[in-house]
């Protein structure tokens, strides 16, 4: 894992989100868990070498941020925003999160096959929130403060985690650093408001949901990307293009690669980003 400060480690080079942990004087706080089983177990072992895990905080409900919770059972308390708790591993018409996690095993974690739980066993105890909150909440763990800030947009229950003593902010997928942004079911207006909120915080290091660790200046880059998507689809709607025409013509595939292990999803991302924005903007 990559060391950001003397107290904070993260992993940006594996399929899934950027799972991290913070060492305090009274144990460890985990922020998002690895999607891949063997990486989840390895991260747990490493984190516990610094003390007991006190809390596991998930920044959103998407499977790449939460599936590894299963492999942290028996450690710290799981902390969820109500929006994360309500949507945790819920199967929808668009996605079966369990199947999506299983799909990654042959290519990205073949050794994980032996420990990948059966569906029934997984859903009987996936290790979801034991502490559930709305709005914002602050955890004081030993000598470190964790401000859990509701930053909806990418998902309804999205949070950022600010550790002021370390001047580090964990944003989840509110920020995609130099890789494709997944819009899908997002609320762009809320997302832009959340970017404005986090931009006011005092931090030197920004740990995004995907991509390399960056700094506050990247908030403006993410904002520009969202605005470009919105403007491009709004122009299509104004020109009277059909949904199919918009999907075919509005495409940002050349801008950034897809994050680790998901290059095959590029067309899927472009299609669903354009389609979801078209549906929202045309209905307005």
Per-residue model confidence (pLDDT) at position 195: 98
8 Å CB contact between 254 and 266: no
Per-residue model confidence (pLDDT) at position 265: 93
All residues at 6 or more sequence positions from 6 whose CB lies less than 8 Å from its CB, including other chains: none
Say whether both 192 and 246 belong to one domain: no
Say whether both 205 and 121 belong to one domain: yes
Say whether both 197 and 276 belong to one domain: no
Query: Locate tokens 């490493």: which residue?
Result: 46
Say whether both 181 and 263 belong to one domain: no
**Phi, psi at residue 7, to the nearest 5°?**
-110, -10
The number of angstroms, rounded, from the C-alpha of 54 to the middle of its chain's C-alpha atoms is: 21
Per-residue model confidence (pLDDT) at position 94: 84
Q: How far apart are CA 275 and CA 242, in angstroms?
A: 10
- Residue 31 burial by Cβ neighbours in a 10 Å radius (0-12, 13-18, 19+): buried
Say whether both 51 and 149 belong to one domain: yes
Say whether both 212 and 255 belong to one domain: no
Say whether both 194 and 270 belong to one domain: no
Say whether both 175 and 234 belong to one domain: no
Q: How far apart are CA 57 and CA 172, in angstroms?
A: 11
User: Model pTM greater than 0.95?
Assistant: yes
Query: Locate tokens 């909440």: which residue?
Result: 137
CATH code of the domain containing 176: 3.60.15.10
Say whether both 22 and 152 belong to one domain: yes
Domain boundary among 216, 235, 258: 216
Q: How far apart are CA 159 and CA 107, in angstroms?
A: 30
Say whether both 120 and 176 belong to one domain: yes
Question: What is the number of domains present in the chain?
Answer: 2
Question: Which range of residues forms the domain containing residue 270?
Answer: 225-283
8 Å CB contact between 250 and 233: yes
Task: Characterize the bridge pairing of strands 27-31 and 77-81.
Answer: unpaired
Domain boundary among 193, 216, 239: 216
Query: Locate tokens 């520009």: which residue?
Result: 224
Tens digit of pLDDT at every position of the chain (284 positions): 999 999 999 999 999 999 999 999 999 999 999 999 999 999 999 999 999 999 999 999 999 999 999 999 999 999 999 999 999 999 998 899 999 999 999 999 999 999 999 999 999 999 999 999 999 999 999 999 999 999 999 999 999 999 999 999 999 999 999 999 999 889 999 999 999 999 999 999 999 999 999 999 999 999 999 999 999 999 999 999 999 999 999 999 999 999 999 999 999 999 999 999 999 999 87
User: DSSP alpha helices (H): ranges in the chain?
Assistant: 37-48, 63-66, 82-87, 97-103, 105-108, 119-124, 188-199, 218-238, 243-249, 266-283
Say whether both 142 and 250 belong to one domain: no
Per-residue model confidence (pLDDT) at position 242: 97
Say whether both 53 and 145 belong to one domain: yes
All residues at 6 or more sequence positions from 163 whose CB lies less than 8 Å from its CB, including other chains: 8, 22, 144, 145, 146, 147, 169, 170
């Amino acid at each position: 894992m990559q060391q950001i400060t003397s107290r904070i480690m993260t992993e940006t080079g594996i399929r899934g989100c950027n799972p991290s942990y913070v060492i305090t004087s009274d144990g460890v706080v985990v922020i998002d868990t690895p999607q891949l089983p063997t990486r989840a177990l390895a991260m747990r072992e490493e984190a516990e070498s610094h003390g007991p895990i006190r809390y596991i905080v998930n920044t959103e409900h998407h499977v790449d941020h939460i599936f590894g919770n299963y492999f942290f059972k028996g450690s710290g308390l799981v902390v969820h925003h109500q929006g994360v708790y309500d949507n945790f591993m819920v199967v929808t018409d668009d996605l079966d999160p369990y199947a999506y996690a299983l799909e990654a095993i042959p290519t990205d974690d073949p050794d994980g096959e032996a420990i990948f739980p059966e569906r029934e066993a997984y859903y009987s105890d996936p290790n979801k929130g034991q502490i559930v909150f709305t709005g914002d909440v602050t955890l004081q763990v030993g000598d470190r403060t964790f401000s859990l800030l509701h930053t909806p947009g990418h998902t309804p229950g999205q949070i950022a985690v600010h550790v002021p003593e370390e001047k580090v902010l964990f944003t989840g997928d509110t920020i995609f650093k130099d890789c494709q942004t997944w819009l899908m079911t997002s609320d762009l207006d809320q997302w832009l408001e959340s970017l404005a909120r986090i931009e006011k915080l005092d931090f030197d290091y920004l740990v995004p949901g995907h991509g390399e660790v960056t700094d506050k200046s990247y908030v403006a880059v993410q904002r520009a990307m969202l605005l470009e998507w919105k403007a491009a689809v709004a122009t299509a709607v104004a020109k009277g293009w059909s949904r199919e025409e918009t999907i075919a013509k509005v495409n940002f595939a050349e801008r950034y690669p897809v994050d680790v292990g998901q290059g095959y999803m590029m067309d899927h991302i472009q299609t669903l980003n354009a389609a979801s924005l078209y549906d929202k903007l045309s209905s307005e």
